Chain A
């Protein structure tokens, strides 16, 4: 056997790991998460590799889902119900919102089952459990990128060109990620103990979709309701995407600020709750 670098060198001291019952609210141990970043990388890589294995259409699914939803929305809301779309062609108006929305809803779906789906791993091996839902959410970025390319194609087709505001786009994607991870941490940790969660997720995403200005613009609301609408962080994300890409008239400043704060609170609360429940995962999953 070749000698490893971890060969016991005399006098070499190793950091002491202390194992003791944790009391109350525990720290997030983000440093440890960083030390395990390669595991996170491999988990994301695996999720991406495996996602469309043994499907006929493969990665096309990443485009088919938002695209057909957009067609249905355009027909019923755009054409028949004549929902206003801030002066933008309705197909682009709804698709630009569906792209981040699909990233969010798929992320929740995958991440909330990530712990239960890897029960054998959790019962056998130690690693920061946070990396499981995190990897599930991050692996959705590939789908997002694919759907985003179609959005660019549609913008070209409809002759809508982005303004300078497009530099803000990464920020809105980050906001979508934070929101998604925050919700996922709550749901995945709860799902370990209560499998009810699995059945509530289709409802949650469905209700949440209609509570988010995807099929309609938030400009239908007047202040201060419009700003309060930002308490749903996805409202901020969707309006932000439209503003950055399609150049809707006014910058959605207040709604974004409210959304950002809500998303950060959601993530912090979720992470703390997750860490608090983490010690019971291996015993009850």
Chain B
């Protein structure tokens, strides 16, 4: 049997994290290829609905990356994210889904290395958790 390779969605905000990811790419930093990056205009446009939908359809992990607090292009967008995602994680926990499958982090446009580090860490963590149990659930 081949080794479990998780499928991970990373929502990156256009102004910081996506640029950070770009920088990581330009610098040729090595990271696991499990991540599908989705560009969003602000981390606040990542509705928790997206996270729930992804998890319940069998995605193994969801990363939400935004600008550092205070650096948001839309001033208070990431404040909203910082409040919503913890609630979403708690709800997942209540429903019996490991909340380590969702992670919120801040990556600025200059932090290519941090992007690499976050991705590597998260992929390792999700790998250790194993496949999403909901992938097998036939509703």
Q: Is the A/B pair a real complex?
A: no
